[in-house]
Amino acid sequence: MSWSEHLIAVPVVLPLASGALMLLLDEQRLALKAAISVTSVFALLAAALLLAMLAEAPIGRVYALGDWPAPFGIVLVADRLAAVMVLLATVLGLAAMLFSLARWHRAGPRFHSLVQFMLMGLNGAFLTGDLFNLFVFFELLLTASYGLALYGSGTPRVRASLHYIVINLTASLFFLVGVSLLYGVTGTLNMADLALRIPAVDPADRVLVEAGAAVLGIAFLVKAGMWPLCFWLPSTYAAASAPAAALFSILSKVGLYAVLRLWLLFFGAGVGGELLLYGGMATLAFGIIAVLASQELGRLAGYSLLVSSGTLLTAIGIGNAAVTGAALYYLVVSTLGIAALFLLIELVQRSRGPGADMLAVTAEAFGLEAEEEPEEEPGVAIPGTMALLGLSFGCCALLVAGLPPLPGFVAKFALLAAVLDPAPIALTAWSLLALLSLSGLASIIAMARAGVRIFWASEERSVPRVRVIEMAPIAALLALCLVLTAAAGPAMRYLQDAAHALHTPAAYTDRVLSPQ
């Protein structure tokens, strides 16, 4: 086995090791922890990039843990979709981590370990080829996310997290019921093996398999935020601290990833497609109304996330490889855009105070006031802060609404082009066209309204103190989006290949189950 064979395990092992190492360090040694954490995430980024480059079409690499062959042992599978998701998670982790270095990582203990464990859970969930292993990684990332949702404490966070935790624990129980039903009928937990055995199931037991898959689907759709399972999402995300919320923007994509992967693998775009299609449309419609109705910026971002979830669910539900490819591009772009928005909101609202007040309170509670006071720090503040923030906010608005020149437009255009491609255009395609255009309109109205209130209204306000280390991750995320516009061709081809691989499950099962 060459070194590159072991590369697949790196995205799981590296964050686990660095997160565990930081647990052993004393709480006062923040600088050392930050150094370990940032180094580890940069190494992870390199590994994820390498993994994405090495993931050949149609199906990437398979890594048998402990060298136990596939249906018996647990495998990690790095195909293009998994590699892209790992890369996306790592980029968001890096952005959140750098952003937190300015002040947030001081607001409570164990921030860096929580982020690392969350990255480990995310990467594991994307890479695993085993259903029960997926459950374990889901639980890991959720447990870390409970910690991050509560991070910084304060009444609104605790109140929102209570709902968040209870709902996700219930969803985990659904997950277990679904897994055990599937296991009871098919006798396997390996995803590739399940894909082979499900079509061969005795017709009398078929209904049990479909019920199991439906129960499993509920667990994923709660995470993805499909209407009517989504009411917990905006309040939790709005209440979470900025770096945590930015990381959470990929959390709903984990649910979508699991739906996409397992649905296509088990049922090949068959059973349940209508549910995804109409559920996605309902989510989209709910998101549009909610975006227009939301007053706070945090909730606006949360509802934008629901709009993106709805769009993706509808596109997945159409069950066509070309549409799925465009949807994957939209997934990457919208996740980056919304993460940047969550980070930006904290900076914009700093002058208004609620977040800052809470920070001061928690710093007191943890006895951290002896340390340097963030407000009086001489750190490099940026001149023309408001102009820069306004520009970034405008970019986020264009990205979320899907207007040129940012890649939100390319993504929506590709999606609609793929949906409207076959000559007799179906009614669902027209409704998706209408909903997508409406969602863009609603987003731009809501964002413009918020932007005018913040940046142009003449009321007296203090200019927020923003440090380079806080602005840099936002600028980097937006720059990455610009790169994705410039390189839309190659990126789209890569993701189209990923989508075609998803729509031909035979290649996946052959690769996983054939002895190497």
Partner 1 sequence: MELILSLGIGVLAGSGVWLLLRPRTFQVIMGLSLLSYAVNLFIFFMGWVRGGAAPVVQAGAAVDFGRFADPLPQALVLTAIVIAFATTALLLVVLLAARGLTGTDHVDGRESGE
Q: Which is nearer to partner 1, 187 or 405 (CB)?
A: 187
- DSSP output for 462-515: PPPP-BHHHHHHHHHHHHHHHHHHHTHHHHHHHHHHHHHHHH-HHHHHHHHHS-
**Residue 437 CB, nearest distance to partner 1 (Å)?**
37
For residue 185, the Cα-to-chain-centroid distance in whole angstroms is: 32
Token duo for residue 276: 């995804």
d(CA 395, CA 499): 28
Q: With CB under 8 A as the contact rule, which of the stretches 43-51, 169-177, 445-453, 498-506 interacts with partner 1?
A: 169-177
Phi, psi of 226 (to 5 degrees): -75, 135
**Residue 135 CB, nearest distance to partner 1 (Å)?**
8
d(CA 319, CA 366): 51
Among 139, 366, 388, 394, binds partner 1 (CB under 8 A): 139
Q: Which is nearer to partner 1, 186 or 309 (CB)?
A: 186
d(CA 161, CA 155): 10
Do the Cβ atoms of 251 and 259 come closer than 8 Å?
no
Q: How many residues make contact with partner 1 (CB under 8 A)?
A: 29
Q: Could you tell me which of 509, 516, 514, 511 has the C-alpha nearest to residue 191? A: 509
Q: Which is nearer to partner 1, 117 or 494 (CB)?
A: 117
**Residue 258 CB, nearest distance to partner 1 (Å)?**
17
d(CA 28, CA 40): 20
Considering only residues 179-208, where is the footprint of partner 1 by CB under 8 A? Answer: 179-181, 183-184, 187, 189
| Type of residue numbered 287 | G
Among 7, 45, 176, 472, binds partner 1 (CB under 8 A): 176
- Name, in order, each residue with C-beta under 8 angstroms of 462's C-beta and a sequence gap of 6 or more: 351
Q: Which is nearer to partner 1, 219 or 250 (CB)?
A: 219
320 SS3 class: coil
Considering only residues 149-168, where is the footprint of partner 1 by CB under 8 A? Answer: 150, 153-155, 158-159, 161-163, 165-166
Q: Which is nearer to partner 1, 180 or 504 (CB)?
A: 180
**Residue 159 CB, nearest distance to partner 1 (Å)?**
4
Alpha carbon separation from 137 to 61, 82, 257 (Å, rounded):
20, 14, 14
Q: With CB under 8 A as the contact rule, which of the stretches 145-153, 369-377, 379-387, 419-427 interacts with partner 1?
A: 145-153
Considering only residues 389-448, where is the footprint of partner 1 by CB under 8 A? Answer: none
- Name, in order, each residue with C-beta under 8 angstroms of 79's C-beta and a sequence gap of 6 or more: 55, 58, 59, 60, 498, 501, 508
Among 49, 172, 420, 504, binds partner 1 (CB under 8 A): 172
**Residue 387 CB, nearest distance to partner 1 (Å)?**
38
Q: Which is nearer to partner 1, 119 or 179 (CB)?
A: 179
Interface mask (CB under 8 A) for partner 1, residues 119-138, using x and -?
-------------x---x--
Positions touching partner 1 (CB under 8 A) are 132, 136, 139, 143, 146, 150, 153-155, 158-159, 161-163, 165-166, 169-170, 172-173, 176-177, 179-181, 183-184, 187, 189
